[in-house]
Structure formats: C-alpha cells, structure tokens
Structure 1
Amino acid sequence: MTPFFNKAFILETTAPLLINMTEHQCFENIAFNASEADDEYHNCTFIGCDFSNRTILNTVFEKCTFRTCNLALSKWKNALREVTFTDCKLTGVDLTEISKFSGDLTFVNSLLDYCNLTGTKLRRSRFSDCQIYEGYFDEADLSLSVFERCNLERSSFFKANLEKADFSSAFNFSINPDTCRIKKTIFSEYGLRGLVAHLDIEIK
C-alpha cells in the first residue's frame, strides 16, 4: 500500500523561515511596540525612543546604538550583541533572560539603578560614568569588563565572575572576595576598602 502524505503539510513545514531584518536605519522619538518590531536590527540607531515597561521577545539587536532612550522597567528576552546605551534611563531593567550569545555591551553616562543582570554572561562589557545604585550582578560573568567611574553603591556581586575586570576608578562598591572570582581583577588602592566592607571594620 502506498503511504499517504499530506502534501500541504510538507510544503508548509519545509518553507524557508522569513526573517524581517532592518539595517542602517535611525529611529527617533518612537514608542517601541514589541509586537510590531522586526526580528533583527543591525547597525541601527535609536534616539529618544521609549522602551519602558515593555518585554522584548525574540528580537536581535546587533551593533546598535541607543541614545537618550527610556528603557526603565523593560525586560529583555533576546540577543544583544555589541550594543551601546548612551545617556539612557535603564532603571529596573531586567536582562536576566537575554540570550547566552549576548555580550560586548557598553553603557555610557546612563542610569542603571536597580538593574537586574543576575546570571548573565556579559564578558567584556563596559560601564562608563554610570549610576548603578543597588544593581544585581549576582552569579553574572563580568570577566574582562570595565566599570569606569561608576557609582556602585549597594550593588551586589554575589558569586560573580570578576576575573580581569577593572574597578580601578569605580567607587562605593562592596565586593566579598570569599564569594566572587577576582583573579587578576584590577582595583585602585583606595578601592581596596570595598573588599573589606563585609568585615565590619573601621579603616582610618
């Protein structure tokens, strides 16, 4: 007996997957709606756009720049590769579910209070002149990352990988060497205070 095949089903399942990709475009003052987003953005610039209180699903941003954007309380479940955030508001941003293929992120003069990067793998990321009050970097891989002139007051690095990271100009941080990987991590002489804050001792 000749086996029965549903030709319509075969055609549907073997059809190529169509990906909506946007390249080399600039978006200004747009309220971003995740349901209307393209699948991938490459070398795009977002200026003054509103991503606040949104969940970003399955959208890849690669070599993109965000300037003066509002990303407060947004949640990202996608890939961010070689992305730069400049003068942005990222208060309460949640990056805990971004793709494992994300990395090389840059944050410049941005507000990241209460950000959640727990468990993320963001090697070689750079934070410059950022306010990061009570940020959560627990169990994150931040090896080879740089915290340049950042205020890290009350931020948590429990079980984080900070190997070869640079904290030499960061301030107000508290890092427990017993619970973090800090091999060849760079600290200034002044910043060494942040490594003994958990001991409840006075340094004069």
Structure 2
Amino acid sequence: MKEAEHDNQVFDGIDYSRQTIGGEEYYDCTFRNCNLSEANLSNSDFNDCIFENCNLSLVKLANTGLKTVSFKNCKLIGIDFNSCNPFLLNVKFSKCQLDYAGLYQMKLKETTFEECSLVEANFSESDLTNASFRECDLSNAIFDFTDLTNADFRNAHHYTIDPERNKMKQAKFSHFGLAGLLGKYDLRIE
C-alpha cells in the first residue's frame, strides 16, 4: 500500500529538488513549473498525469509506475527510465530535453517523441515498434538490437542507425536521413 494518494490535484511552482517523495500514488494530477531535479520518486505511481515545464533531471524512478503520463516542455536529463515499473508503462514526450536518458531494454511501443532533444539517449534492446520521433535531435543516440518496426524517423535529425544491428521492417525515413543509415559504409551522399 502506498503512503499517500493524490487525486485531481495541481502542483504548481513547487521545489521538490533532492527530496524523497516516493511511495505515493497520483491520479489525474498535473505538475506545472515544478523543480524535481534529483528528487527520489521511487515506488510511486503516476496515472493519467501531466508534467509541464518541470525540471526532472536526474530524478530517481526505481519501481515507479508511469501509466499514461505526458511530459511537455520538461527537462529530463540523465534519467534512468529503465528502472521504472514496466507494468502498463505509457509515456509521451513533447518539446522535452531527454539528453543522456537511459531507455535500455524498454517496451516503448507507440511512444511519441515530438520536438525532443535525445542526445546520447540509449535505446539499446528496446521495443520502439510504431514509435514516432517528430522533429527530434538524436545526436549520438544509441540504437543497438532495437526493434524499430514501423517507427517514424521522417522528421528526425542527426541519427545514426545500423540497419544490420536493428530490426527495421517498415520503419519510415526521409531521403535526407540516408546518411544516418549508411554512415558505417563511409559513402558520399550528395
């Protein structure tokens, strides 16, 4: 049983940085303009919640449930998402900074990343079937043995993906992204 339950609440402008607020349940809550950097949210459950304009950099999410959670204009640098509870995991990211995020071995089917920075994010061995990366910066992001079936990279930038090391059936790319798929062959694409 969780320590506290919060329903339909708005948390606005609160500084939770470096605090432990884990072990709680949140239903239909909105976190707006909050600083949660380096906070410990372990063993919490977030259900149908929204985070807007929040700083969640280096937040701890061990065994945390993220069930239909949207992040909008948030700073999420260096988060180890693969420590989250995988049960009913469902997240969406819009205009977020997810640099150095750990997304290793995660089931992220149909996840939307829109206008996000994913510099050096690690997607190794994850399932990104039907995921969308609209207008995302994927500089040095790692895709290794990743399932990219039907994933959409048509408007993504700066990615390097080895087709021989990833499952890519029906994945979508623009002709401008060919260099990111053929980089290991040292070709001149003009």
TM-score normalised by L of structure 1: 0.86
- TM-superposed CA distance for 1:119, in Å, is 1.2
For 2:48, the equivalent position in structure 1 comes to 63
For 1:12, the equivalent position in structure 2 comes to none
Matches within 5 A, 1:1-204: 17=1, 20-32=4-16, 35-37=20-22, 39-77=24-62, 78-204=64-190
Alpha-carbon distance in 2 for matches of 1:40, 1:57: 11
Alpha-carbon distance in 1 for matches of 2:26, 2:129: 27
| Contact 1:34/1:57 (8 A) holds in 2 | no
| Structure 1 runs (4+) greater than 6 angstroms displaced | none
Q: Secondary structure at the match of 1:57?
A: coil
RMSD: 1.7
Amino acid at match of 1:106: K
What per-residue deviation string (whole Å, max 9, x for no partner) do you get for residues 57-81 of structure 1? 1101111100110011122121111
TM-score normalised by L of structure 2: 0.92
Larger radius of gyration: 1
Alpha-carbon distance in 2 for matches of 1:112, 1:148: 14
Q: Report the count of equivalent residues.
A: 188
Alpha-carbon distance in 1 for matches of 2:14, 2:112: 26
Alpha-carbon distance in 2 for matches of 1:90, 1:20: 25
Structure 2: gaps spanning 5 or more residues:
none
Structure 1: gaps spanning 5 or more residues:
1-16
